[in-house]
Structure 1
Amino acid sequence: MLACAPVSTPIDYTTKLTSETGTALADPSPYRRLIGKLIYLTSTRPDIAFAVQNLSQSVSAPTDIHYRAVFRVLRYLKQSLGAGIFLPSSSSLQLKGFSDSNWAGCLETHRSVTGYSVYLGDSLISWKSKKQATVSRSSSKSEYRALASVTCEIQWLSFLLDDLRIGYEKHALLFCDNDSAIQIAHNQVFHERTKHIEIDCHVVHEKINLGVLKLLPISSSLQLADILTKALHPHVFKNFYGKLGMSNIHSHLEGGSYNSNTYTSSELRDDNG
């Protein structure tokens, strides 16, 4: 790997991986070991979360194409060895969540992929990239399941902050780029037509009614969780990477400075009119 050429994204956005892609590996053990190490690394590297969850679904029968894709992740990591999450001390203590899904993102099961990121002020403290447990019949249903997941995460984080006796703004902000999912959350009438996700509906609707959660629309171009649901074009990936709240210690040692590039409150207000 010392002589390999670095790449700008952990996964090629033109590549479509399935269990039938490529030739089965004679010995899948090295692939499985690499996946295990990369899963551990996602604890501090949300930028590789989608790539790793995508590749981890092939551990039972990996192929040479999957193995090549894992090495692409390593090539990506090579050009960002000093990268990590930067936690600024100068931001307000308000929970902000970004929720997204890639409808029918799995080519084989047609299950959607949930992606969310949660910030305390400008600090990224929680994120997820995971295939949903059931098939969604529409994009709004898959988006709503993602909303329910991040709502539960925000509630858990609120309980944790309370237990630690940390003062924070009691109402959290949650941003979603699907208008239909937002309508389902705000309008009780829609729930009669969405009984197969009734529990998810009640989870989100209850928190909105209690005033602990404010659900807001956001344009897809600002949806930070997009990086956790699909492979992106390098230019789009670079933009979202810069907004994740990550920093590179090597650039700091070379004379740069740490900074938080997450969206400011004014940027989010402008996007919402």
Structure 2
Amino acid sequence: MDSTLRLHADPLPYRRLVGCLIYLTSIRPDIAFAPQQLSQFMSNPTKAHHNAAIKVLCYLKSCPKKGLVFRKNCNTQIRGFSDAGWATCVDSRRSITDYCFFIGNFLVSWKTKKHNTVSQSSSEAEYRALAATTCVAMAYLSP
């Protein structure tokens, strides 16, 4: 075996690239899925992960005029919506929370998450969903 052969590449460039892609999701929500998937391999990325990140860059380069544009006089009101499906998960009977946020007419954040605990009622599931959504809203509104 060649003693100069490196089996594991330095993950730092990959981490920087994925970090930049995550930052870009604030103005390019169309790429949000890719950085989320790529960020799961930050500790031990392979060449395939790096190539996938490069493909996202190629996509961004191919359509530079897409994205969110906020004009001076546009509506920048933040609106959030949440919902909970009580005992929606067939396997665990846990509820599932969905929420989304809009700035003006632009969807800027969304998430679906299974609750950590089993809710005893649909009211409790809705309350948990609202509490989670409020925490995210406060993160948007804090300076």
Of 65, 71, 75, the residue aligned with 2:58 is 75
Partner of 1:166: none
Relative to structure 1, is the Cα distance of residues 96 and 133 closer, same or farther in structure 2, using a 3 angstrom cutoff? closer
The TM-score with structure 1 as length reference comes to 0.33
Secondary structure class of the residue paired with 2:26: coil
Matches within 5 A, 1:173-188: none
CA contact (8 A) 1:87 1:122 kept: no
- CA 1:56–1:83: 2 relative to 1, 3 Å: same
Distance 1:85 1:39 in 2: 15
1:127 partnered with 2:114: no
Aligned length in residues? 122
2:56 and 2:117 map into 1 onto residues whose CA distance is: 29
The code of the aligned residue for 2:51 comes to R
Q: Does residue 1:48 correspond to 2:46, yes or no?
A: no
> Does the 8 A contact of 1:50 with 1:129 survive in 2?
no
In 1, the alpha carbon distance for the partners of 2:114 and 2:53 equals: 24
Cα displacement (A) at 1:56: 0.9
- AA aligned opposite 2:36: Q
Q: How big is the alpha-carbon RMSD for the aligned residues of Structure 1 and Structure 2?
A: 4.4
Residue 73 of structure 1 and its aligned partner are, at CA, apart by: 1.1
Aligned mates of 1:157, 1:36 — CA distance in 2: 19
Greater length-normalized contact order (CA 8 Å, ≥ 6 residues apart) = 1
Give a deviation string over 1:21-42, Cα, whole Å, max 9, x none: xxx7433232122112212222
Instruction: Give the corresponding residue for 1:265.
Output: none
Q: TM-score, normalised by structure 2?
A: 0.56
Identity over aligned residues, as a percent? 40
Change (3 A) 1:27 1:66: same
Gaps of 5+ in 1: 1-23, 105-112, 161-273
| Distance in 2, Cα, partners of 1:94 & 1:26 | 42
Q: Aligned partners of 1:127, 1:147: CA distance in 2, in Å?
A: 15
Residue type of the partner of 1:65? A
Deviation at 1:43? Answer: 2.7
Cα offset, 1:134, TM superposition = 7.1
Distance 1:158 1:51 in 2: 22
User: Is it true that 1:58 corresponds to 2:41 in the alignment?
Assistant: yes
* 1:148, distance to aligned residue in structure 2 (A): 4.3
Q: Contact between 1:95 and 1:119, CA under 8 Å: does it hold in 2? A: yes
1:97 aligned residue: 81
Secondary structure at the counterpart of residue 30 of structure 2: helix
SS at match of 1:62: coil
Q: 1:152 aligns with which of 111, 135, 139?
A: 135
Match of 2:4? none
For 1:228, the equivalent position in structure 2 comes to none
Q: Is the 8 A contact 1:31 1:67 kept in 2?
A: yes
Stretches of structure 2 that go unaligned for 5 or more consecutive residues are 1-6, 90-95
The DSSP-based 3-state class of the residue aligned with 1:75 is helix
1:29 aligns with 2:20: no
Give the aligned partner of residue 3 of structure 2. Answer: none
